[in-house]
Amino acid sequence: MDNNLPLAAFFRPKTLGDFVGQEQIIGPEAWLYKAIKSDQVPSLLFWGPPGSGKTTLALIIAKETKAEFVEISATENGKKDLMVIVDRARKSKRLGTKTILFIDEIHRWNKAQQDALLPQVENGTIILIGATTENPSFAVNGALLSRVKVVVLEALSEENLSLVISRSAKFLGFKAKKDVWNFIARVANGDARKALNILESVGTDGRAVTLDLVKQIINKPNLLYDKNGEEHYNIISALHKSMRGGDVNAAVYWMVRMLEAGEDPLYIARRLIRFASEDVGLANNSALLLANATYDACHKIGMPECGVNLAHCVAYLAKSPKSIAAYQAYNLIKEEIEKSGNLPVPLHIRNAPTKLMKDLNYGKGYKYTPLEDSSEQEYLPEKIRKKKFI
């Protein structure tokens, strides 16, 4: 083994056969598998959580299709670096060699930088493979998004991670009970890199690999919990109900418990945004503004700094007066729509941009509120015009 390489890099799969997980996109019947085998891979955008195999899969695609592989990071490289790569790719193309350009964290490039990719993708100078952990609908320019195929990678399952860990441990000669490897897989939360980093720390310790040793190395043995397991839902439920009940001490306690156990702060922030409308709602409209600002703060500065932003928001929501009027109205209207179907819009409040529509009485009799009394005007469909939802 190359002692200069981290374990995660050393055990990076080299072929599709070695790749673990993501069967939905690279299983034998999946379109990407067939595209790789037929050498017809288009420009792609890999969207998935950390450690799900985005970089590894890009490397494998380049190897399988015999393309030159160039990797850059959007946090370190810019348009100037891109144009150097493009110039080299043009020369390679003339010699019959394709170039795959892998851009990690592509969402961090600004519009001008992303736009610089458009002609290179369109004319085939490069095959772009971008990687992002952010929703590409918001993080990537629409023009670029329309020119690539979005591929969604999922967090690796515990079974996948257990296989990765046990293979690596066997190669290294580490010995332990199966439940030790399963525990590492569970606390890695779908991230193969994190799992192998834990294994690397265990292995370099020199002692027998036991569950207690793994917990000591992780350093939070009493706080670990599976983000997809029961304790995860128990604690988020405790947070939600504590805020709803106005117990600020309990609410902040449960929030900190989640963060210290390794929960994604953005997950908590999203729940706070929901709570701001569902439970606080019309009783305090500023709650939604603060919850959105808290999400933005978590996104910008991350952990551990954003912990205080979350504590601020949780305390505010817990102390705030509560109203579920908006939440109830939404559910009541949803039930009504399921029961009454697509009721027609009343003619007098329809838009009438054409003569035909005017001839059909679209907009006829509409009372313009700023200039005339519209207190008797109806806005709901005739069949439910007396209904009250909020």
Tell me the whole-structure pTM to 2 decimals: 0.57
Helix (H, G, I), strand (E, B) or coil at 266: helix
Assigned fold of 22-152: Rossmann fold (3.40.50)
Q: With beta carbons less than 8 A apart as the criterion, state whether 18 and 122 touch.
A: no
Which of 91-100, 182-191, 312-321, 331-340 reaches the highest mean pLDDT? 312-321
pLDDT reported for residue 388: 92
Q: With beta carbons less than 8 A apart as the criterion, state whether 239 and 271 touch.
A: yes
- Largest alpha-carbon pair distance within the chain? 87
Confidence bin at 367 (pLDDT 50/70/90): very high
Residue 80 is given by DSSP the state H
Vertex 172 angle, CA 169 and 175, to 5°: 50
Domains of the chain, by residue range, sit at 22-152, 158-218, 230-319, 339-384
Q: What is the pLDDT of residues 62-97, one digit of tens each?
A: 999 999 999 999 888 888 899 999 999 999 999 999
Q: With beta carbons less than 8 A apart as the criterion, state whether 134 and 49 touch.
A: no
CATH 1.10.3720.10 is the classification of domain 230-319: no
CATH 1.10.8.60 is the classification of domain 158-218: yes
Separation of alpha carbons 387 and 380, rounded Å: 9
| Helices assigned H by DSSP within 261-324 | 265-275, 286-301, 307-319
Tell whether the model's pLDDT for residue 46 goes beyond 90. yes
Q: With beta carbons less than 8 A apart as the criterion, state whether 54 and 153 touch.
A: yes
Q: At what angle do helices 211-218 and 192-205 cross, to 10 degrees?
A: 110
> Exposed e or buried b for every residue in 262-286, given b needs 16+ CB within 10 A?
bbbbeebbebbbebbbbbbbbebee
Comparing CA positions, the residue from 378, 346, 374, 372 lying closest to residue 361 is 346
Separation of alpha carbons 315 and 318, rounded Å: 5
Tell whether the model's pLDDT for residue 245 goes beyond 60. yes
Separation of alpha carbons 106 and 130, rounded Å: 6
